[in-house]
Chains A and B, each alone.
Chain A
Amino acid sequence: MNAHLQPTGSAYFLTQETQQTERHTLSVLVDNEPGILARVVGLFSARGYNIESLTVSETEHGRRLSRITVVVIATPKTLVQIKLQLERLVPVHRVHDLTAEGNYVERELALIKVKGTGDHRAETLRLAEAFRAHIIDATVESFVFEVTGKPDKIDSFIALMSPLGLVEVVRTGLAAIGRGAEGM
């Protein structure tokens, strides 16, 4: 049974979901028109799908196309539904399940503010170098780092900064693209 069908409270959904959930990255090519993001987000909330991360920006200005990268956690059966439901939206051109297709790269960018003086400051800088984090703002008692990488790399960097004076974090969400010469 699809987890996303249960909240309807309808008569027959007695059986529990038996499939394991998986984390998948979908790449959605859409017309960049007003309301498109609301359509996509509305679809997820209306049908009870979970969004882990969502990134959107215009990518081809001439053709007014945007690319939405969305990370979802769902069962294989629901993942298929999510793709098909997205494709039903009139302004959606194509949906690729990059995780299912296998061959892709993904990156996220984070801006991380860390406060500290003395030993902490030196340790912070040493770790930042190991993670190839760039300093994009500095005061005598703080840094703002820019880190790019896979989400788990950013997670570890944040974890390491946490005892050293982590103030706040901003993340862009995931951007992903297929490998090789072919485009979407």
Chain B
Amino acid sequence: MAEKMTGAEMVIQALADQGVEHIFGYPGGAALPIYDAMFQQDQVQHILVRHEQGATHMAEGYARSTGKPGVVLVTSGPGATNAVTGLTDALMDSIPLVCITAQVPTTLIGTDGFQECDTVGITRSCTKHNYLVKNVNDLPRVLHEAFHIATTGRPGPVVIDIPKDIQFAVGEYYKPEIETLRHASYRPQVDGDLKAIEAAVDLMLKAERPIFYTGGGVINAGPEASENLRELAELTGFPVTSTLMGLGAFPASDPQWMGMLGMHGTYEANMAMHDCDVMINIGARFDDRITGRIDAFSPNSRKIHVDIDPSSINKIIRVDVPIVGDCNRVLEEMIRIWRSKTNQPRTEAIAPWWKQVEKWRAVGSLNFKNSDTVIKPQWAIQRLYEATKKQSKEVYITTEVGQHQMWAAQHFHFDKPNHWMTSGGLGTMGYGLPAAVGVQVAHPDALVIDIAGEASVQMTMQELSTAVQYRLPIKIFILNNERMGMVRQWQDLLHGSRYAHSYSESLPDFVKLAEAYGGKGIRCENPAELDAAIAEMLDYDGPVLFDVIVEKDENCLPMIPSGKPHNEIILPDTANLGSIIDEKGRALV
């Protein structure tokens, strides 16, 4: 049943038909018809941001904490270019976004019109797909197809560029059947090949030194996938590690949990990856922060890789059993097949392996020297974690990028999926504050905390104003070391401690800044006062900017330096970082 309406009205109608409740956006000349249509309805609530990059990260936080797509609306030209960072971030981390960009009228396209830019050209390589709509009658199909593409297969961002005259034009709106959308060229494979899954279970049944290496794909496959991962881990008795993106899919409180792996992962996780005989990769992609030096990566293991994106398989590491499919479906099949073959975990056969794992664990790779004169950043996170455990609310953590991000991943522990939001693939400073706003919009009663660095947080600081406007009580927990700590650490490691532009000078007074925005500011530099200050932050019903003054030159360890294999990880008691990396390693990122 088609209905006559304008293109702008179609946008709103399609959002409503898709069940979208919130969109994050910023108006401008070319987007005004859509804003006008929005003004005249109340199905979709618009959150006005302060910078379009903020809108994209909010939508990412919203998406990652709900499993639903995040929706963004921006104007042409600078509105669209400001959204590019968040689109790229969403592409790298497989986050479903639909971003509507307004465009100059079709007659002006190509004339260097005011606020014209080649949005589809600019965003082609940072979206899963994009559209320029030149006929209003294409709009209903494109709008719904965009949601379909963003949310299915390997999720990602989709841009729809809509010229102003198309927003004004009148056409027939209809809601297309999913089966009529792109069925010929876009058919993600969700069911894994049964033979391959059987081969995988056979390998697992014979394993003596197995490990589950899980990633963001488990989270993207929905909460059932996390349930199934827990079940399979219990059935098999195998240890489980996860990438940064996968934290929470497996409970950190479980004895089979090994901690995060990779460049700043635990000793036990990285050693077990190196020495295992069967590696079961579920929804991770052998990223370079994980593999370390490729030719020395887990040299003696048979590798199983489950991924919904066929191009992720054998891209970097050759695997023995590739399985293309949705993590949840494949996990279900693995459980079924395992059960059909045995009802015992491999407790006895892998007992020596667990013994070895426990030895590595006993090294205590996340240990640090605490202090009673200065707040250690790791300790601050531990205290924050302890305090939030006592809260009756759901707790969601977002982060910026840098040392604080890695310390958060190491010392804040997650027992549920979708509660940890961080920029993994792109490593975008400025992600955390707006992401927290997006999470809080989706979960108004939850406790949402951005664990931040003083440098990162200034990249999207202005979204504190958004939080104040919509009464979103986000907490921004700044580990203020007056350094771009991660950069400083690399300069110590690789560049003779020449700290070129890696310290934060002329820092604002964050307490006053919070107050200027209409939020609450807290500062703490005394370890003895930290718990009380955290309690004050948690008790305050409104946005808080908490400036925690921490040890300035703490290193984030353990660390696998560039160009080194997993078993050459630097542990916390290594004194001199500067002599660890050789000439060749210095050139590496």
A residues within 8 Å of B by Cβ? 1-2, 5, 8-15, 30-31, 34-35, 38-39, 42, 46, 77, 80-81, 84-85, 87-88, 90-93
> In angstroms, how far is the closest chain B Cβ from the Cβ of A169?
31
Least CB separation from A84: chain B residue: B311
Residue B124 CB within 8 A of the other chain: yes
A84 touches B310 (CB 8 A): yes
Across the interface, A10 reaches (CB within 8 A) one of B288, B310, B315, namely B288
24 A-B interface contacts by CB (under 8 A): A1-B295, A2-B315, A5-B316, A10-B288, A10-B588, A11-B562, A11-B563, A11-B588, A12-B291, A12-B292, A12-B293, A12-B588, A14-B295, A31-B184, A35-B124, A42-B125, A84-B310, A87-B310, A88-B309, A90-B182, A90-B185, A90-B186, A91-B185, A93-B185
- 8 A Cβ contacts from B272-315 to A: 288, 291-295, 309-311, 314-315
A85 to B185, CA, bound (A): 14
Residue B110 CB within 8 A of the other chain: no
A31 to B186, CA, bound (A): 11
Known interface pairs A13-B294, A14-B563; A81-B315 also in contact (CB < 8 Å)? yes
Residue B530 CB within 8 A of the other chain: no
B132 touches A34 (CB 8 A): yes
Residues of chain B with a CB closer than 8 A to A87's CB: 310-311
Residue B589 CB within 8 A of the other chain: yes
Apart from the given pairs A10-B589, A35-B124, 9 other A-B contacts in the complex at a CB distance below 8 Å: A2-B315, A9-B589, A11-B288, A11-B588, A12-B293, A12-B562, A14-B293, A80-B314, A85-B311
> In angstroms, how far is the closest chain A Cβ from the Cβ of B589?
5
Residues of chain B with a CB closer than 8 A to A39's CB: 124
> In angstroms, how far is the closest chain A Cβ from the Cβ of B274?
14
Across the interface, B589 reaches (CB within 8 A) one of A11, A88, A92, A93, namely A11
Residues of chain B with a CB closer than 8 A to A11's CB: 288, 562-563, 588-589
A62 to B85, CA, bound (A): 39
Residues of chain A with a CB closer than 8 A to B584's CB: 14
A46 to B562, CA, bound (A): 24
Count of interface residues, chain B, beta-carbon cutoff 8 Å: 30
Residues of chain B with a CB closer than 8 A to A30's CB: 185
Residues of chain A with a CB closer than 8 A to B184's CB: 31, 93
User: CB-CB contacts of B87-127 with A at 8 A, as 1s and 0s?
Assistant: 00000000000000000000000000000000011001100
Residue B129 CB within 8 A of the other chain: yes
Residues of chain B with a CB closer than 8 A to A14's CB: 293-295, 563, 584, 588
A93 to B316, CA, bound (A): 25
Residues of chain B with a CB closer than 8 A to A31's CB: 184-185
Residue B149 CB within 8 A of the other chain: yes
> In angstroms, how far is the closest chain A Cβ from the Cβ of B530?
35
Residues of chain B with a CB closer than 8 A to A2's CB: 315-316
A38 to B127, CA, bound (A): 14
Residue B128 CB within 8 A of the other chain: yes
A177 to B315, CA, bound (A): 28
A84 to B154, CA, bound (A): 14
Least CB separation from B563: chain A residue: A14
A8 to B294, CA, bound (A): 15
A71 to B298, CA, bound (A): 35
A30 to B132, CA, bound (A): 18
A12 touches B185 (CB 8 A): no
Residues of chain A with a CB closer than 8 A to B288's CB: 10-13
Residues of chain A with a CB closer than 8 A to B316's CB: 2, 5
B residues within 8 Å of A by Cβ? 120-121, 124-125, 128-129, 132, 149, 182, 184-186, 288, 291-295, 309-311, 314-316, 562-563, 584, 587-589
Q: Is the interface of A mostly helix, strand, loop or mixed?
A: mixed
A86 to B584, CA, bound (A): 34
Residues of chain A with a CB closer than 8 A to B121's CB: 38
B310 touches A15 (CB 8 A): no
Residues of chain B with a CB closer than 8 A to A13's CB: 288, 294
Residues of chain A with a CB closer than 8 A to B563's CB: 11-12, 14
Least CB separation from B584: chain A residue: A14
Across the interface, B311 reaches (CB within 8 A) one of A34, A88, A93, namely A88
A12 to B565, CA, bound (A): 9
Residues of chain A with a CB closer than 8 A to B310's CB: 84, 87
> In angstroms, how far is the closest chain A Cβ from the Cβ of B317?
11
Residues of chain B with a CB closer than 8 A to A15's CB: 294-295
Residues of chain B with a CB closer than 8 A to A10's CB: 288, 588-589
A88 to B315, CA, bound (A): 14
> In angstroms, how far is the closest chain A Cβ from the Cβ of B217?
15
A42 touches B291 (CB 8 A): no
Residues of chain B with a CB closer than 8 A to A46's CB: 125
Least CB separation from B130: chain A residue: A35
Least CB separation from A93: chain B residue: B185
Least CB separation from B297: chain A residue: A12
Residues of chain B with a CB closer than 8 A to A77's CB: 314
Residues of chain A with a CB closer than 8 A to B125's CB: 42, 46
A60 to B34, CA, bound (A): 37
Residues of chain A with a CB closer than 8 A to B311's CB: 81, 84-85, 87-88
A13 to B288, CA, bound (A): 9
The 4 A-B pairs with the shortest beta carbon distances in the complex, nearest first, are A84-B311, A11-B588, A11-B562, A90-B129
Known interface pairs A10-B589, A46-B125; A92-B185 also in contact (CB < 8 Å)? yes
Least CB separation from B565: chain A residue: A12
A42 touches B124 (CB 8 A): yes
A31 to B184, CA, bound (A): 9
Residues of chain A with a CB closer than 8 A to B293's CB: 12, 14
Residues of chain B with a CB closer than 8 A to A34's CB: 132
> In angstroms, how far is the closest chain B Cβ from the Cβ of A33?
9
Residues of chain B with a CB closer than 8 A to A9's CB: 587-589
Least CB separation from B158: chain A residue: A90
Least CB separation from A63: chain B residue: B184
Least CB separation from A29: chain B residue: B185
B149 touches A90 (CB 8 A): yes
A68 to B294, CA, bound (A): 34
Residues of chain A with a CB closer than 8 A to B124's CB: 35, 38-39, 42
A88 to B589, CA, bound (A): 27
A38 to B288, CA, bound (A): 28
Least CB separation from B293: chain A residue: A12
Most buried by B among A30, A81, A92: A81
A142 to B236, CA, bound (A): 79
A80 to B295, CA, bound (A): 20
A15 to B199, CA, bound (A): 30
Least CB separation from B188: chain A residue: A88
Residues of chain B with a CB closer than 8 A to A8's CB: 589
A90 to B148, CA, bound (A): 11
> In angstroms, how far is the closest chain A Cβ from the Cβ of B127?
10
Residues of chain A with a CB closer than 8 A to B120's CB: 35
> In angstroms, how far is the closest chain B Cβ from the Cβ of A45?
9
B294 touches A1 (CB 8 A): yes
> In angstroms, how far is the closest chain B Cβ from the Cβ of A93?
4
B292 touches A90 (CB 8 A): no
Least CB separation from B324: chain A residue: A84
Least CB separation from A78: chain B residue: B315
